[in-house]
Structures are given as structure tokens and as C-alpha cells.
Amino acid sequence: MSAQDETVAGLKQILITASNTGTCYGDHLARHLVDWFQFGEHQLYKKQQQQQQSDSSQHIPDTTLKTASPVDILLASTAVIPRLVEQGKADEILDTLRTYSQLPYVDKEVLEVLVLCLAVTAKQTEQKKLVTDAHSAVRELCTNTHLFFLFIQFSKMIAKKDGHCGWGRGLRRAVGSWYLSWEPHRLAVEVTRHASAHGWTHRDVIKLAHLKLKDMPIGTQVVLHYVFQGLGRTTEKYSGQDNSQDLLTLLQALDKDGHPQEGEKAWDVDEVISKVTKLHEKFGNLTLDDVPSQSLKSQELWSHLLDKLDSESLVASVNRLGRCHLLNPSTETLHPLQDQLVARLTQETVAAGPISPTQTLLSLHAYQHPARFIVDLAVKSGRGGARGAGRVLARKSSKVNPKVIEAMHTLIANSAKNIDKTKGKLGVCIDVRGSMATTHVWTGNPEGKGEVTCQEAAAVTALSLSSGGTNTAVSTLAFSESGLVNLTLGEGATLSQVINVFKETVIGGVNVNAALEWGKENGAETLVVLTHRLDHQAVAVASQALDQFNHEHNTQLRLVLCGLGTKRLNTPHIPGILLMLGFHHRTPTIIRAFHERYF
């Protein structure tokens, strides 16, 4: 592969894995950088305040981060973009961003990394056409407020490093085009569904972009006037003008508490029910963001809401309902709501939605093992304040509903069957030793482990890759005493059934050479090894075996090594090998994209 091809491949890898290394940890690169930047700015502001309030010239220690700044890390992680510009391949950058934004392997988390790449592209000032085209692509790639404000935040971070404010003509035009490109009714839903993100509000952005409402179409004027003045003044100004009544009626239904007036009453259940009914009738989809959070403790509201939520919001609502004690099996009067939730979770339309088996499994464990943080160990200071306060993980006692658990397991199986089948022979080789059942996956959380066992993670990954046992191009195998044995996953197999198949297998150690031999005999294009622990020696042995195998047989077999319970390994990029540590809801998706040669 030439240097230019490697550069393009590096950009594609970032857009699929959110990482520019050969190892995937499940880290959220874009979000970590924004949080880190905002933390650094807050620390700097506190230091400046201390200096202003200090009456002496005593030195105040610098509490800002001493390591590389988040902007430096941002630019380093996307260094492939300026390299493409240097190689004269600037046109491929936006083409790749547009193409990959449409792939099924790119979800909303990876879109944040795509927006990061778009912001870096828009700052390649030596390429004026590229910068102009990047700003023109903002509306196409930033498909919601969250991504749009993320682009603005990244632009600010990069510009600040160069001593600029970030609000040049190109960004102002991009902001104006973003708002103008929305159909007014859709824009009304967007500005009320997501009023703010990443420290920005629609009012901030519109003011800094110097948008003039009088130059805009009447529908856009109504919505943006509402952003600044609220529902009452907007209704007074535009009532009866140019058929704006329908839009005003929609805003009245959407209006939350963003512009509370003195004496205004809080939401009641009937108002919320009316709102969600109108939204569902007009647009056909509904998320939890459309519902005032303070009203989500009402059983009556949930009974109207469950049949209207999209699949992701429906699965997310299980844990919320559990926290509100609306699913307790001992509560006789609430059985109709429980039965309604169970019936909805088992509908084919839910399984056919964007929800994945891994997301459902993680939500199921969140429901089965509820946890919350409490502030404890607070030591009172001499001046009456609290210092030394820490966050301690405490378990809430909560009863789980067996019917809901069974419905979630059914959804895992049904949603796996709806995953598009991969092409090319794929072998999924699983470690079925007892340690897989007793160790937990690494999810990157501060407590060090998740509730999901490595055995469950391997089972749900096998289900996802095999499309619920329906894809004949995918073989599920187990490491046994005799090498590798085939595991039969029946069509529509449940998670429990797959785990039982694991338990019935005669166990054996992980043997990469045996997997490679199976790949040779069966014409496999990719092999996946799922185990609970990886170390440097295991990776080095596997790398050497793969190189030797491909050289001897003149093949391009690829290998995925998944250490489901492994935290960190400082391993350089190894051609032909994808190293995945820990478990993330995107783990099967990344493996499928690697197998399909998207990076």
C-alpha cells in the first residue's frame, strides 16, 4: 500500500473506529476533547478570578493542565487531514466524509468524530476552496443541533490556538445556511428538542453569526423569533401573517419551559399527552427528548408514550421506568403498563429499528443492576464548608420484572436477525473457558468493570456478526481440546441458548494457529478471536503467525483480537490486525466494518 493510500485508509479508520491507532478502546475521542477543553477554560477562568481578587502579589499556582492541550491532541488525532492536503488529495477528504456519513457502520457517536474531521478540514486555510466546501457541507453532515454545536465548538477550539475568535465569514455563512436549510416545522422541532449543547444555545449562535431575521423566509423568522422572544411575543407579532398559524400552533405544542413567564403553571399530564400526540401525528417519530423530564413519573403519560417512542428511546425507557418503580412486579395496579411495555418490546417494528443487540444487552444490565452515585465522606472545614467530598457508588435495592427481562432477551434475538448480512467468509472463534463467565468486560467506566460478563459479550457479538444465526457466511467456533469445533446457532437463538452451547463445549486454550488453519481450509477472509484477556506476548505471537501464514499462502487474511476484559496495551499498529480491548456497544459494528474492508 502506497503512502497516499495509507493516508486515506487512516482517515477511513478514524471515521469507523474513532481512533487513529491500531487499538480500539471504546474511548469517545470527540466528547473527551470537548470536556477537557471546557474544563481547562474553567480552570483558567478560576485562576484569573483569583488573581483579580488577590490583594497581594503572592504567586498563585497554575491549576491548568500541564500536559498536552486538548487542541494539540485534537490536531494530532486528525493529522491525516493536513497530510492529505499536502499530498494533493484534498478533494478526497470531503468525498470520504460524505460517503462514510451514510454507512450503516457510522452511528451518532462516530458522527461526532466525523464532525471533528470536518472542523479540522474547514481550518486548512491554505486551501480556500476546501475551506469553502467544508463550510458548505456543514448542513449536510451536521444533521442535528448536537452535531452542529459540536462543529462550532471544535472551530472555536482550533481558532483559539491561533489567537482568533473563530467567527469568520465562512463560519457565519455556514450558520446561516444551516438554519435556512431546515423546513420551518422541522426547525421548530429541532430548536425545542435540543435547545443547547456543548455550552452553546441557539440564541448564542444566531447572535454571533449576525443573522438578520428580516432577510429570512417568514417560517424561519417565526421559529428564530421564538428562540429569542418566547411563545407569547412571537404569537403577538406573527399571528395571522402569511399562513403562520399552523407553525404557531406547533410551537405552542412544543414549547417547554425555555421562556417561563411569571406565574406560568408547570406542565400537567394532559398537556404533555396532547403534545406527544400532535408530534407523533405530524412527524411519525418521537424521542424522550420531546417530553418534559419532570412529567416522566406519570403512569398515565407512559401509557400514551410507549407506543409512540422509537426503538432506541423505548429501550432506554426501561431503566427509567424501573427507577420510577413503575415496573415492580408486586405493584398490582401497574400490570397494564408492564404488559404494554412487554408487548411493545416484542414487536417486529421495534426489532427492525436502529436498536442493536449490544445496546439492548447493556440497557438490560442497567435495569437489572441499578446504581447511583451518592456524595459521602464529606469533611467539614473550619469555615463551615465541606471539603474532601467524594463520590461513592451505592446500590439501590430494586425488584426487577421477569416479564420485562424476558422481553429484552427476545428483543436481543430479534434485533440480531435484522442486522444486514456480511459478505465474505468470517470465522468467529470464541474462548469458552470458565474464566469468561466469571470475569467482567472492561467498559472504560471509573469503577473498572461493567456488569456484563465476557461470556455474555462474546455471545451477543456472535449473534450480531452472524445476524442471529441466519448468515451462512459466518461460522461460530469454539477453542476446544481438539482445536476448533463448530457451534450451531439456530436461527433466532437467544443469548441464553448461545451461552448454553458454550457450556456444553469441551474447553481448550486460545490457539491462533488452529484458527488460521481453519481459515485456510474454509477460505475465510477474516478471523475474530474473542477472549477475556490479551497481553503483549499473545499479540506478538498472533502477529507473527498471521504474517507467516499470509506470506506462505499468498493471502490477505485479516485477524481481529478482542480482549473483552483487557484495559490497556501499548501496542503499535499492526497491518492486518484489529486489536479491540474491552467491550462497547459498537464492538460488533467495528468488526463488521473491518471485515468488509471499510478501513
Inter-helix orientation angle 3-17/587-595, to 10°: 150
pLDDT at 46 over 70: no
Quick: pLDDT tens for 397-447: 457 899 999 999 999 999 999 999 998 999 999 999 999 999 999 876 544
Give the torsion sign (CA, 186, 191, 193, 194): positive
If one counts the domains in the chain, the total is 3
Q: Is residue 19 part of a domain?
A: yes
Mean pLDDT taken over the chain: 84
pLDDT at 257 over 60: no
And the C-alpha cell for 576?
492486518
Region of poorest pLDDT, from 250-254, 308-312, 477-481: 250-254
For range 319-330, the mean pLDDT: 84
Q: Is residue 259 part of a domain?
A: no
DSSP tag of 19:
-
Q: Is residue 216 part of a domain?
A: no
Give the pLDDT of residue 25.
Answer: 65
Give the pLDDT of residue 48.
Answer: 52
Give the pLDDT of residue 38.
Answer: 60
For range 214-234, the mean pLDDT: 93
Q: Are 150 and 199 in contact (CB under 8 A)?
A: no
Shared domain for 504 and 533, answered yes or no, is yes
The β-bridge partners of 480 are 483
CA distance readout (Å), 362 to 210, 367, 370, 417, 442? 44, 9, 12, 18, 13
Give the pLDDT of residue 549.
Answer: 95
Q: Which residue has the cell 405530524?
A: 282
Which CATH number covers residue 444?
3.40.50.410
Q: Is residue 186 part of a domain?
A: no
And the C-alpha cell for 299?
403512569
Using pLDDT thresholds of 50, 70 and 90, give the confidence band for residue 49. low
And the C-alpha cell for 461?
457479538
For range 227-232, the mean pLDDT: 91
The β-bridge partners of 486 are 477
Residues in the chain: 599
More confident residue, 379 or 231: 231
Task: Give the largest CA-CA distance in the chain.
Answer: 80
Give the pLDDT of residue 32.
Answer: 62
Give the pLDDT of residue 158.
Answer: 86
Shared domain for 443 and 580, answered yes or no, is yes
pLDDT at 238 over 50: yes
Give the pLDDT of residue 336.
Answer: 85
pLDDT at 244 over 70: yes
Shared domain for 448 and 399, answered yes or no, is no
User: Exposure of 240 by Cβ count < 10 A (0-12 exposed, 13-18 middle, 19+ buried)?
Assistant: exposed
Shared domain for 472 and 538, answered yes or no, is yes
Q: Are 430 and 457 in contact (CB under 8 A)?
A: no
Shared domain for 347 and 491, answered yes or no, is no
pLDDT at 138 over 80: yes
Shared domain for 127 and 68, answered yes or no, is yes
Concatenated DSSP letters for 390-443? EEEEEEPP-PPPHHHHHHHHHHHHHHHHTSPPP-S-EEEEE--STHHHHSB---
Q: Are 97 and 141 in contact (CB under 8 A)?
A: yes
For range 169-178, the mean pLDDT: 94
Give the pLDDT of residue 268.
Answer: 79
Strands 390-395 and 386-387: unpaired
Strands 526-531 and 558-563: parallel
Q: Is residue 174 part of a domain?
A: no
pLDDT at 389 over 70: no
More confident residue, 292 or 317: 317
Concatenated DSSP letters for 459-480? HHHHHHHTTTTT-TTEEEEEEE
Quick: pLDDT tens for 80-122: 999 999 999 999 999 999 999 999 888 877 888 899 999 999 9
Shared domain for 354 and 431, answered yes or no, is no
Give the pLDDT of residue 503.
Answer: 92
Q: Is residue 148 part of a domain?
A: no
- Euclidean distance between the first and the last CA atom of the chain, given in angstroms as a whole number: 13
Q: Which of 491, 493, 568 is nearest to 536 (CA)?
A: 568
CA distance readout (Å), 203 to 195, 253, 373? 9, 20, 34
Q: Are 273 and 301 in contact (CB under 8 A)?
A: yes
Using pLDDT thresholds of 50, 70 and 90, give the confidence band for residue 198. confident
Q: Are 239 and 215 in contact (CB under 8 A)?
A: no
Q: Is residue 245 part of a domain?
A: no
Give the pLDDT of residue 260.
Answer: 42
Shared domain for 293 and 436, answered yes or no, is no
Shared domain for 498 and 537, answered yes or no, is yes
Q: Are 368 and 405 in contact (CB under 8 A)?
A: yes
Structural domain that includes position 427 = 419-595
